[in-house]
Structure 1
């Protein structure tokens, strides 16, 4: 009984918490990576379990469809037995069953990583975290340094404008006789585990003395200033009007999200169909080629350089190739369903 409960606890941790941890690790990436380890342990545990359930639901459906498993049997069995683990003899697990368990575990980790990366880029590319506070990351310094404010929070004379760069005036705690301010363009920064600034890296750094109003250029490519040496920070955002090219960026960003969703769907969908494994692999290849064709035809009109746009003949060729593989995909799935 105790051994069974211990094994059940281990399986519970592996099955739910670990995939949830992998999802969060890849969702909180870049300048938001410190949020992965921040917060109360109970909150992190609950969110890991939640995303673990989501990942396991997707993995179980994909794994079950790929290997022709009965998706309802394990769930019904667990409910009917009321999780009575005493009836399970873990010593009778065969080598093939162990390999299947390992394969399922690796697939769940892969799904967690892909889902974490996908969700991160959807939120960042679409700027959903800027528009909706509930989706904002805890790293508020990123939004300040990048000038990423919602239209409602922007100054009246800055609405409709885009921030292209940020100039910083770093007031030193212990100024010298020749310098009390460091000026420069923000390049990089880093945070500690509590989300506080550790240092700031600026480009084109200059020393400025308020008394003499003298500016001295600091030689070097990058200049690092520790936060422990900084008393105050003055932000100067460089805004520019949103021209046609910048208006296209939103459309390109939205198109990229849609295409990324189509790619992810096309790569996953064949595995949930009840068709032979060779048909699933061929369907994935067809979906990928179709996605490339659609991407070329959709992105071409949005290209800035006219030379990068497809000609009429290239459009016809790309459309023909896409249509050909779409027909192949349809026939592959139809034949595969009849073969089962």
Structure 2
């Protein structure tokens, strides 16, 4: 049992747990309940797959540090020692004490790096999907919590032509309680969904009000808003007959300007570093030798940084204009790999040809009258569910 337990622990640590961390970080925030919304076999396959990806990235990073940057990392591990360790464990035996004393520190570092990359790439992919709105554009990347999209701007329900930032959602809820119909209104502050099927369970309103029709002294009917005291008003979804969602937006020009200034400063510093590095650093270890190589080094650095800047902040990225920018950024990276004799020149040439072709066929969408005029600030959009 002890021998079987040892193999089991190692298998879980290296083949399952890294994928578990990746999925846990990817399904974060509003989508945490999706982490368990699949059968055990599917979860096991995804865990093993992402564990393999994390291990491959870790080993590739170590290889780059050793072979191309000339840094001494994990020097206690070599092919013979790794082969000895894996062979011993596969026979359900404990490794030799001497070998284990020499390598345990580096083994801990490798396992820690695998876990780190699992968490890092899980969070990074989550950020990319949400920040680039890839889940809105592509159904395959859409999270199962569809109420999130309905309650946060409703972009999967209709196309909003304005460039304003979503602020909050006002909800008008028609409920039926004990055979009596009641209407409530308020600002949506939180909601809960069922863990198994993502069905809505409760909604919480702040600044909640009860709407009621009354006949005034002039014999006309008017709607009276009665404020409901309390921090938040909870409505079980089982009592809801209908809902009207009203989306409010705010102008984000100031935040965009500050963000753009920050991106421009970083881009300027990066370009300055590339230019200065030609004169101050020895770039021969990276294959940058001679005048023409140094000129191309500066040009490709500028191309890569410029397109990365556009990729991070581009008003047309929802119109697929980010594809040529991504391809040009990758082409610039491939040139640096070519200068280090990692890829051939033909790969770089083909990559730039594809990038130029994509730039010709995928053009940014400009201001089109047919798209409609931008909605004025604080002008809400209504969606009935």
TM-score, normalised with respect to structure 1: 0.63
Distance 1:84 1:106 in 2: 20
C-alpha distance in structure 1 between counterparts of 2:262 and 2:252, whole Å:
24
Instruction: Find the counterpart in structure 1 of residue 147 from structure 2.
Output: 141
CA distance in 2, matches of 1:59, 1:95: 22
Q: CA deviation at 1:94?
A: 2.1
Q: 1:125: which partner in 2?
A: 131
Residue aligning to 2:191: 189
| Aligned residue number for residue 6 of structure 2 | 7
Verify: 1:85 aligned to 2:90, yes or no.
yes
Mind listing any 5+ residue stretches in structure 2 that lack a counterpart?
66-71, 216-222, 287-385
Give the total of aligned pairs: 268
For the 8 Å contact 1:186–1:202, the answer to whether it is kept is yes
The Cα of 1:40 is off from its aligned counterpart by: 1.1
Cα distance, 1:328 vs structure 2: 9.4
2:179 matches 1:171: no
Comparing 92-101 with 19-28, which one deviates more in the overlay? 92-101
- In the TM superposition, structure 1's runs of 4+ consecutive aligned residues that sit over 6 Å from their partners are none
Render the CA deviation track for 1:279-320: whole Å, top value 9, x for unaligned.
xxxxxxxxxxxxxx9845258xxxxxxxxxxxxxxx7xx589
Task: Name the SS of the counterpart of 1:224 in structure 2.
Answer: strand
Partner secondary structure for residue 177 of structure 2: coil
Structure of greater Rg: 2
Partner of 2:26: 27
Find the counterpart in structure 2 of residue 50 from structure 1.
49
2:105 and 2:262 mapped to 1: Cα distance? Answer: 38
TM-superposed CA distance for 1:164, in Å, is 4.3
Q: 1:105 corresponds to which residue?
A: 111
Residue 38 of structure 2: aligned partner: 39
Alpha-carbon distance in 2 for matches of 1:244, 1:3: 61
From the two aligned structures, give the one with the greater helix fraction.
Answer: 1
Q: How does 1:1-340 map to 2 (within 5 A)?
A: 6-63=5-62, 65=65, 67=73, 73=79, 85-86=90-91, 89-92=94-97, 93-150=99-156, 153-154=157-158, 158-160=160-162, 164-174=167-177, 180-194=182-196, 195-210=198-213, 213-238=223-248, 245=253, 295-297=263-265, 322=273, 326=277, 330-331=281-282, 334=285
- Is the contact between residue 171 and residue 233 of structure 1 (CA under 8 Å) also seen in structure 2? yes
Unaligned residue ranges in structure 1 (runs of 5+): 256-292, 300-314, 336-340
> For the residues of structure 1 that align with 2:15 and 2:284, how far apart are their CA atoms?
33
Aligned-residue RMSD, C-alpha: 4.3
- Identify if the C-alpha distance between structure 1 residues 327 and 220 changes in structure 2 by more than 3 Å, giving closer, same or farther: farther
Q: Which has the higher contact order (CA 8 A, sep 6+)?
A: 1
The structure-2 alpha-carbon separation of the partners of 1:84 and 1:239, relative to structure 1 and needing over 3 Å to count, comes to closer
Give the TM-score normalised by the residue count of structure 2.
0.57
What is the CA-CA distance between 1:3 and the residue it aligns to?
6.0
In the other structure, the counterpart of 1:274 is none
Aligned-partner SS, 2:169 = strand
